[in-house]
Amino acid sequence: MTRPNLLLVMADQLAPQFTGTYGHPLVSTPHLDALAERGTRFDAAYCHSPLCAPARFSMMAGRSVSSIGAWDNASEFPASVPTLAHYLQMAGHRTILAGKMHFVGPDQLHGFEERLTTDIYPADFAWTPDWTAPDERIDKWYHNMDPLAEAGQAITTHQIDYDEEVGYTARRKLLDLARDSDERPFLLVASFIHPHDPYVARPEWWGRYDHEAIDLPDPIDESQIDAHTHRIRAGIQADTVGYTEDQARRARHGYYANTSYVDDWLGKLVATLVETNLIDSTVVMVTSDHGDMLGDRGVWYKMSFHEHSARVPLVMAGPGIRERPVPNVVSHLDLLPTLLDIVTDGTDWHDRVPDIEGRSLWELATGGKDDVSETTGEYTAELTSHPIFMIRRGDLKYIHCDADPPLLYDLQADPLERNNLAAEPEWNDVASTFACEVAARWNSNEIRARVLASQRARHAIHRAMEHTAGVQSWDHLPVNDVANHYVRNHNDVVDAALQSRLHLPTGARRRP
């Protein structure tokens, strides 16, 4: 098989449970639905860490948070860590990023030959937590209840501005790739910020939903809420400032509307592949960095290994991919080895790619079988003082933190995770086995010491960098070569028009 192009479309904070593709009765995602209908939908896919930067860094590297030091949203992604973009570049692909990847540090490319936009978040150490004072809020950037109080409609927001730029530049790049002379296959990552809070949508997407029909979170008994969830509630001020039922409904309404907004961009990008005759030679993948609790357990946003926060959509379609759902437990760690299997056409790459912790999903995507159904997770960011570890194996999920009682759920019998089996006598042996595995797999004390040392160093560097604000910046500045755009004195107006024209290929499908 000729090496295919790759289009990876990422949403931010999109839980699969809140898409029509994964069965939500209200949320409209027709373009993701269509992709799943002609491809593979993974029904138990997880992020490795339920926070933006750690989730993305571990996905890019195919390695765990603790192995690359991707502790939190202000952790530097080391330039010495090879990424999927590096490996695909070495395999002969052009590598292009449009949108958010939350890179922290002076390396803002990490293997991408081109980065078409800046990021929406800062690239420095400003957002570093402090585990020596885990109960103290950093009001400048910690989540609180404001997004619920402000949920609703607007003509535009900074997030809409950003995603319009991401979508435009990604679509423009697909057109450029179809009309330039470089015949290398490409990897294009189009990474949107929606439906991440604040839950504010433009009227045309808000208007797709009947406000009174918006569903509310299922109620939960206070006794079923675990220690970390209590910390999150306190950290986001859900237990003090709180929120009303109307605010919850408006927040969910905005989230659903913005999910449809991202889905529309997916549709535009796929339509561009169709009209440029690239669709049959391109593998399209869709995922998000993590989910959103959206009020479950009285909490919002992420930072939790409960299902609404830790699960992600994962859909792929294209040449060689079968049309079916896959129940196996998988994760972001598996994306890099999957891409390597796609672009190397079965050539053994394992000796050249050390330390990869995931497994390839290509066998599952192409109709084969895989007896493995498990993954792990690590959380080392704000609102905890100790690392939190997760093991998902088959129907069981085990969550461990040195500071908290353990959690064990049977997701087949209890998909909403209301019944902690770790406290049930008949599950003692299972819980003990998981506890022994956690102790063997992770050295919690050593990881905590590394996190604390990293936080101290980053706090010191950030204090120093504040004195050079506006002079010293790691934020990405996209190249915009306007001297060679459109018509200029060094080219002929007729030649410029002809060279930029992309004709409808013979036999091409017209835009749907």
Which one, of 140, 260, 268, 138, lies nearest residue 199 by Cα?
Answer: 260
Cα–Cα distance, 28 to 214 (Å, whole number): 12
Residue type for position 271: A
Cα–Cα distance, 451 to 455 (Å, whole number): 6
The structure tokens 């590598």 sit at 95
Q: Read off the pLDDT of each residue in 403-429 and give the average, rounded to a whole number.
A: 96
DSSP characters over 96-111: EEEE-----SS---TT
Q: Place 510 in a pLDDT band, splitting at 50, 70 and 90.
A: very low
**Which pLDDT belongs to residue 200?**
97
* CATH number of the structural domain spanning residue 80: 3.40.720.10
Give the end-to-end CA distance of the chain in Å, rounded to a whole number: 27
Domain count, the chain: 1
Q: Read off the pLDDT of each residue in 1-29 and give the average, rounded to a whole number.
A: 95
The structure tokens 């319009």 sit at 164
Cα–Cα distance, 239 to 234 (Å, whole number): 6
The active-site residue, picked from 31, 48, 52, 253, is: 52
Residue 102 annotated to the active site: yes
Residue type for position 446: E
Cα–Cα distance, 424 to 407 (Å, whole number): 11
The pLDDT tens digits for 163-200 are: 999 999 999 999 999 998 899 999 999 999 999 999 99
What's the token pair of residue 75? Answer: 């952790």
Computed on alpha carbons and rounded to an integer, the radius of gyration of the chain in Å comes to 23
Cα–Cα distance, 367 to 33 (Å, whole number): 19
HSE-CB of 465 using CA atoms within 13 angstroms: 17
96: number of Cβ within 10 Å: 22
**Which pLDDT belongs to residue 355?**
86
Residue-range definition of the domain harbouring residue 341: 5-387+442-500
Cα–Cα distance, 175 to 169 (Å, whole number): 10
124 domain residue, yes or no: yes
The pLDDT tens digits for 341-376 are: 999 876 777 777 878 999 999 999 999 999 999 999
424 domain residue, yes or no: no
**Which pLDDT belongs to residue 507?**
56
The active-site residue, picked from 31, 86, 102, 253, is: 102
Which one, of 289, 288, 309, lies nearest residue 297 by Cα?
Answer: 309
Residues in contact with 195: Cβ distance below 8 Å, sequence separation at least 6, in sequence order: 11, 12, 13, 14, 254, 255, 256, 257, 258, 259, 261, 262, 292
CB 48 within 8 A of CB 54: yes
**Which pLDDT belongs to residue 485?**
80
For residue 407, the SS3 value is strand
The pLDDT tens digits for 194-242 are: 999 999 999 999 999 999 999 999 988 888 899 999 999 999 999 999 9
The structure tokens 């730029």 sit at 165
Q: What angle do CA 111, 113, 115 make, to 5 degrees?
A: 100
What's the token pair of residue 206? Answer: 């808000």
Q: Read off the pLDDT of each residue in 268-289 and give the average, rounded to a whole number.
A: 97
The pLDDT tens digits for 114-158 are: 999 999 999 999 999 999 987 777 766 778 999 999 999 999 999
Residue 470, pLDDT above cutoff 60:
yes
**Which pLDDT belongs to residue 484?**
80
417 domain residue, yes or no: no
pTM: 0.94
Q: Read off the pLDDT of each residue in 17-30 and give the average, rounded to a whole number.
A: 98
Q: Read off the pLDDT of each residue in 86-102 and give the average, rounded to a whole number.
A: 96
Q: Place 472 in a pLDDT band, splitting at 50, 70 and 90.
A: confident
Assess whether the previous peptide bond of 478 is cis (omega < 30° from 0).
Answer: no
For residue 472, the SS3 value is coil
**Which pLDDT belongs to residue 135?**
76
Q: What angle do CA 426, 427, 431 make, to 5 degrees?
A: 155
435 domain residue, yes or no: no
HSE-CB of 195 using CA atoms within 13 angstroms: 34
Residue 335, pLDDT above cutoff 80:
yes
CB 284 within 8 A of CB 273: yes
Backbone angles phi, psi at 335, to 5 degrees: -70, -45
**Which pLDDT belongs to residue 410?**
98
**Which pLDDT belongs to residue 512?**
36
404 domain residue, yes or no: no
Residue 52 annotated to the active site: yes
Q: What angle do CA 93, 96, 101 make, to 5 degrees?
A: 130
Q: How far is CA 499 from CA 180, 181, 275, 276, 478, in A?
A: 9, 10, 18, 16, 24
392 domain residue, yes or no: no
Q: How far is CA 465 from CA 140, 398, 469, 470, in A?
A: 17, 41, 6, 10
187 domain residue, yes or no: yes
Q: What angle do CA 165, 169, 170 make, to 5 degrees?
A: 115
431 domain residue, yes or no: no
Cα–Cα distance, 502 to 82 (Å, whole number): 35
7: number of Cβ within 10 Å: 25
Chain-wide mean pLDDT for the chain? 93
Paired with 420 in beta bridges are: none
**Which pLDDT belongs to residue 351?**
76
